[in-house]
Amino acid sequence: MHGVGFVVIGDQKNRVIKWKVVNDRICVLRIKGKFFNYSLINIYAPTNDKPDDDKDAFYERLDKTYGECPRHDVKIVIGDANAQVGREAFFHPVIGKESLHPRTNDNGLRLVNFAAARGMAICSTFFARMNIRKHTWRHPNGESCTQIDHVLVDGRHFSDVMDVRSYRGPNIDSDHFLVACKIRARLSNVLTPRTARIARLNVQRLASSDVAAEYSRKLDERMGSPPE
């Protein structure tokens, strides 16, 4: 069973420029920024044991989706890549030295090749954390964990990424852990209609019989006399 999507919180929905479902493994959310707009590509890649044809087709569609994003947008690829990325020096600077895994598997190689071709960095491999903060998926046996969910950012905006880590606390009803990416970004100001200011009535003045009578008279004038 496949599926990808986004949850947009509160008034952030007013910054959404476009939402597109590519297929059951890829979707795109475009957000308005102050200096750059952001194209977020959410992915769910085939697992490492799937046929090469399936994996080739996925990455061909992902590359096409990336190419369809506006040229000057900041492109960010996030999601379940089902890829173990290693720490091999010959993959630098596409990957960092802080991956959970020492060696890259087949899916990881495909992810690295895609990132290299598009000038992206796999940010989830650059930040020093305890291993427990790098785990993104727990095996059904409950004993082993891996890092297969990743965040990729255009290389020219890599310095805007401040942190990537996983959280075990949130209950998201999944065998995956929540992965958070902190980015230094300036989104556009959202103009919301101003609520008219309501004058507060000094009801204590109505305790005066003269004020109460005058208030009643003016109210009758505004509302009209009641029907007989």
Q: Which of 80-84, 172-176, 211-215 has the highest mean pLDDT?
A: 80-84
pLDDT surpassing 50 at residue 196: no
Q: Which helix (H) or strand (E) holds 17?
A: strand 16-23
Whole-number pLDDT of residue 51: 96
pTM, two decimal places: 0.78
C-alpha gyration radius of the chain? 27
Here the tokens at position 21 are: 């479902």
Greater confidence, 171 or 158?
A: 158
Greater confidence, 160 or 174?
A: 160
pLDDT surpassing 80 at residue 173: no
pLDDT surpassing 50 at residue 225: no
Pairing verdict, β 74-80 and 38-44? parallel
Going from the N-terminus, what domains does the chain have, and what CATH number goes with each?
Answer: 10-183 (3.60.10.10)
Q: How far is CA 186 from CA 42, 121, 123, 154, in A?
A: 21, 21, 19, 16
Nearest to 152 by CA among 93, 208, 79, 68: 79
**Identity (one letter) of the amino acid at 155?**
G
d(CA 156, CA 140): 38
The SS3 call for residue 218 is helix
Strands across the sheet containing 16-23: 16-23, 26-31, 38-44, 74-80, 149-154, 120-122
Any residues with CB less than 8 A from the CB of 144 and at least 6 apart, and which? Answer: 138
